[in-house]
A and B are shown apart, each in its own frame.
Chain A
């Protein structure tokens, strides 16, 4: 007996399986049918048999459309026996093909034979868009009863008689029927696409699954095909632009966590990251390395190829299921599983490529730098020789008469000469012997002035490779999935990389006919990461060094050795970034072992009890060694840090599931249960100095322990969870959830919190009065939800009076109070309202979802600024303040062209309005937290240009009414000017398919916000820092000879200017995030290499960006700052293949 359905792509099957309460039932002898129905259509009867048996019927809808049965009763019969009864008296016959049964007219009139007709056989290969063969697809000759069924490997042959207009139709469950005119061909391969109407999308909530059409909340589901081939270390980057209201930012360092926000920012001092739930278990995403600068992100241990689907839960209807942790939305990840198949499937993914920097800062070259420096130096010298008030008038005079006007006895040229000599001295080039060259860079040694592009020095073309293999299959009783991955990504900054080895094994028995089902999911992965700090202005960071070091400083000496004598204490003179990259060690490694097991009792057809246990173990090492010859390890004989940490989590959940349908009128789907989590994190750390050799940096070889630390923290959470979904005639839906959490983070009296949601939907399309509209419209649903969820504080013990015992003095331990006890501490509450509309037209050719949300945080956990005379700068407490977020989200998909050439567009747009309310006092920084103002509102002096008279910055002044009253060189009043986070975000995907070719592009965009150039302000756009490299924009600067300009007079030694709109740029951008061309090998070619399917692709990620700040990628940060120390974005080019055997 042949089994059908093999080879359909994993996602699709898993969805079907999830949907089917019966699961698979192979061999009709296993299924016994009992039914009693009156006045039913044949279609309804067939549906019922399908439901009871798991068999799939394939038929031409027109052929059975008008057939009905007055009454029918079947008791405990097999499927075929039942069919015999049902079809008795009709002209229909059937043919069993595994679990698929074809029903068709028998013995009808044969079509008339044309005179030119010739007998022939048409054969070919039927496959889905992934190239997977479609076993059991039906091939019909249109206008006749002639049909055939595709056999093994999707191959078919059908005997026909050629005639003009001979058309074959290809049908398969869940797929759109294809019609192909034969035109005399004997070989026709057909690709079939999923029928959007029939493919039931499922929303995975983590506590049960709901079909999309019945879902009352707001969620997006992303399938594996969007993730599998992207050249990223973690999946979060691949979520960019795909779903509305999702903002993802991050730096380009391999393995670094990205910042994800679903529907804005809700909290000031607790986490704003969504909750990640992987295979039903909350993932502890917190960095484990102990250093924010050198983070180890547990997420990078996850193999993205294992992901079957990602569901983003955004509103209360689903996120409230996660209670005190659901306020920022939930990202539910389901990993792939095996499926029944005739043979073992092997799926290879191979990918390799190269990455380069997307955009780098635009700096001056060596000569330009020398001239700017000398000019600034001359001004500084003249300033020193004049008094504060006389400086500018004197400067103007000496510029006006360069020959004859003297200041302190020197004319312009003499001052300039002096400045040049100072430059020669300041930037003299070290010799290997410890002395210096005496070059005159403005005279005879003009050509010896170095011209180093430091960004070129510290960046590189970085290779990328990924190989993964998945082996899967199963029988109705046992399913298995085994995967393994090797991933290696070098970073574009020298000496940074991430590699990963991962193995997953899943085994399960989930035959719904057995009383007991069980399963296990075992995952082991190791990652090794190295690279500079993620941020922080540390000398050892190449990307920071590159925005400090001017182009006139050489990285190497004449003999090729490193230059360890940078001028004037730059990078503490000796932190040569090239040497840091080569000689210092900076490694972080992770080992993740996650094992889970579950047992499920199928108590009744409609009642199941599932109990599961998950053990999560994460071990992290961090090792830093600083070479003793320079930099941090200099003069202390080398400097070692060894740290290890481990994290353990135990999760137990016990859930009772109810799923009952009453006569297709009432459907109830509910779950109730408990969940317990216990978490511990332990770490140890040692610092040592004094190594004999840099080659063996191990603890035993250090001569002196200079520091040590060790300790841990933990939490526990006990929860009672329940949810309830009810639908009436598939038209009216009502859902509710309730969760009670008890958290160890609060005082005993404050521990318990209740969270709930209520939601409803109305599928107007199923109303009888919508019948007319159904011709053009195939979905029309309104839905709304409201509920409460929460956010836990980041602190674990804040309610207690806490004294850190880590102080030390004179070899004794000391104590100081590090936390203020706040016994009344409780969770932040988040109230969410959502209303939405789902529309689909023209056989789902056009689909549109529109949603509006409003969410409001209360009991905000605030680090409330207090008088520092208390010894605290702020105290953590729940305040009456909060944040309101609201926005509109649009998600549109359209099959613009749906012929031989297919052109699909999906587009999304989300707006966001985030505001503070209830704050007692402003919290002022470069951004202000003030009532009614936006989150991340800039609070700056408004820059009015350069005063042509004095070369100083001008700022606007304001009258009492707040109107501009003029300008002044004194900045007197700061204003709220825009915000650092986008007011709208979104993405667009355009994909073009022709025959075996697929071409797709993904754009992301955002706008309405402003970026503050912190890097420019503190370093490269300063008015004469005197030592740092300079942005090219500074070449146009004020001098008495050039008074209309945008940059001030340069005076070496000037301190950084204060914050003003001078450093603010528009943040609006459009980014070509991904572009991909894929070619599916023809059947024959694939077969020649022994593959069932093979495709090749080329793609580029982060290819191009359009934004005002030309040398910057605004997707690098969330709050609107451009920092000088961030790892730049990489453009990645890859080629790859996916091969299935």
Chain B
């Protein structure tokens, strides 16, 4: 018995040691190779056609976020411009922007928007740095590359609108140029800088350089997109051309506007047409309607909910033209933060035949005679709606403005009427002077593009004074906005950027206090 026990003990002891050693040497190295579940590795993303498709969708997904096209970009324009006032205590959203009280410390929505746009850019840069070595369908890859280039250029263009001065102020030789306005934004053109930003010097480029970069991007994009089939929700050749003509318009390069714009119209008119006067009220908000050249698309699952642009600006209304309840509040959700200014209401209602007067709706604020703008009508839910980026009227009015600047009146009137007639029923400038006619065109832009991310910058790019009415968040100090004088016509470079990136600290926008000396809260 004892001997048996001893033997058993030895066997067990040896086997124990054996198991231990085995476990140690095998040591489950394979078990330690854990792969992520819903994340792709670079082997797939950076080396396959599917990966490129995914990245392209990733760029759009970033753009549609409420911190960019989903809300912030257009909400910013509307809070700053002449069309709206933001209500007090409407949820602390864009009130600071409307008041023109951003500071180096509190830059309103500048911080999140700055980041979201650069996230968009990074996704595009990863795509663009890898796509040339992908083997796959040449056409597909060419279109993907073209879209990515165009989207990245647009992202920089939007950064310029939010964080820098337009060419009139920032490009040497232009009428209102001053040295302090000259900065553009940092250009991150390679993956390495984005991956290891702390190892690189990142500074704002000049506006000149940045605009050139945008122009180059759009030009290359057009070359790649030429001939490609249009896909809903995707930027295409015409949209890229429209954006390029928009860039030239901001730069006052009228001949270039005309060249690119005419080319765009030529391509566009076979596919897009203006909604007729009679059909406007029932069609203007429909996704992918005949006027929309490129819109960012949203589905029910995109779930911007309370963060959507529509939820910010107004409450749901009844939208049945001709019925008594049309334009009245149908449900109480929504911040209803944006009320139409009297000047905007007057513009939309004159003449009475202007079908865009239909857009005026109740705002649903108890005891106040406030109106909202139903530019967006969500289907099936209030907060689910597409965001148009390029529409046919923009092409027309951009051309009209350039021809007017060149005093080519037949062409100016032709394109002005292409918008004017479907909306009002009749055409023709009401003014006879050059300045008057340009005002006609700009007023038409304002009517047409309310809440579409144009109007504030249309004033800014031309240095026209914005006049607002004292109401709610618009105090006496921010009624008259003189560009170049008023500090808060552009966002400050966000404090967190200054804190993390010492190289950019001497490049704050003019009027904002420099880093380390925070101003009055």
Contact = CB atoms under 8 A, between A and B. Distances in A.
Contacts of A682: 37
Given A706-B300, A816-B62, A676 B499 contact: no
B381 interface: yes
Given A682-B37, A873-B496, 16 more contacts: A383-B475, A515-B5, A568-B89, A569-B89, A705-B301, A706-B303, A710-B38, A742-B32, A748-B33, A797-B39, A810-B233, A814-B61, A816-B123, A868-B496, A870-B202, A1052-B88
Interface in A703-730: 704-708, 710-718, 720
Nearest to B335: A569
A870 B195 contact: yes
Interface in A553-571: 564-565, 567-569
A460 interface: no
B202 A716 contact: no
A387 interface: yes
A809 B500 CA distance: 32
Interface in B36-76: 36-42, 44-45, 51, 53-62, 64
Nearest to B300: A706
Interface string B187-222: 010000111011000100000000000000000000
Which of A804, A806, A1027, A1056 has the most C-beta atoms of chain B within 10 angstroms of its own C-beta?
A804
Interface residues of B, number: 109
Contacts of B197: 866-867, 869-870, 872, 875
Interface stretch (A110-118, A216-224, A692-700, A964-972): A964-972
A348 B301 CA distance: 52
A815 B42 contact: no
A425 B368 CA distance: 10
B297 A810 contact: yes
A714 B501 CA distance: 35
A207 interface: no
A807 interface: yes
A673 B23 CA distance: 10
Contacts, number: 299
9 contacts: A387-B476, A564-B332, A674-B20, A704-B300, A809-B297, A815-B51, A867-B497, A868-B115, A970-B520
A67 interface: no
Given A865-B499, A866-B501, A1026-B89, A974 B198 contact: no
Interface of A: 383-384, 386-388, 425-426, 428, 436, 515, 564-565, 567-569, 572-574, 601, 603-604, 609, 634-636, 654, 656, 673-674, 676, 678, 682, 687, 689, 704-708, 710-718, 720, 742-745, 748, 751, 796-797, 800-821, 864-875, 921-924, 941, 969-974, 1025-1027, 1052-1053, 1055-1058
A810 B23 contact: no
B367 A426 contact: yes
A803 B333 contact: no
A866 B23 contact: no
B89 A1053 contact: yes
Interface of B: 5, 8-9, 12-13, 16, 19-20, 23-24, 27-29, 31-42, 44-45, 51, 53-62, 64, 88-92, 95-96, 101, 105-106, 114-115, 118-123, 126, 185-186, 188, 193-195, 197-198, 202, 232-234, 297, 299-303, 306, 316, 331-333, 335-336, 365-367, 380-382, 470, 472-473, 475-477, 494-497, 499-502, 504, 517-521
Contact of A676 (B28, B36, B188, B299): B28
Contacts of A748: 29, 33
Contact of B367 (A425, A573, A674): A425
Contact of B39 (A673, A706, A804): A804
Contacts of B51: 815
B521 A1058 contact: yes
A968 to B, nearest CB: 9
A1055 B9 CA distance: 79
Contact of B106 (A706, A802, A922, A1058): A1058
B41 A921 contact: no
Contacts of A567: 366
A802 B54 CA distance: 14
A1025 B44 CA distance: 52
B187 to A, nearest CB: 9
A871 B20 contact: no
A1053 B88 contact: yes
Nearest to A570: B89
B440 to A, nearest CB: 34
A715 B366 contact: no
Which of A573, A715, A814, A875 has the most C-beta atoms of chain B within 10 angstroms of its own C-beta?
A814
B411 to A, nearest CB: 36
B332 A574 contact: yes
Contacts of A803: 39-42, 44-45, 54
B194 A871 contact: yes
A714 B381 contact: no
Nearest to B499: A924
Contact of A744 (B33, B59, B382): B33
B491 to A, nearest CB: 13
Contacts of B37: 682, 711-713
Contacts of B88: 1026, 1052-1053
Nearest to A383: B475
A811 B382 CA distance: 20
Contact of A428 (B56, B193, B366): B366
3 smallest CB-CB distances across A and B, nearest first, come from A814-B57, A1058-B521, A871-B122
A34 B44 CA distance: 73
B380 to A, nearest CB: 8
Given A814-B55, A867-B197, A711 B118 contact: no
A811 to B, nearest CB: 7
A801 B301 contact: no
B56 A870 contact: no
Contacts of B381: 635-636, 689
Contacts of B335: 569, 572
Contacts of B115: 868, 871, 873
A388 B88 CA distance: 17
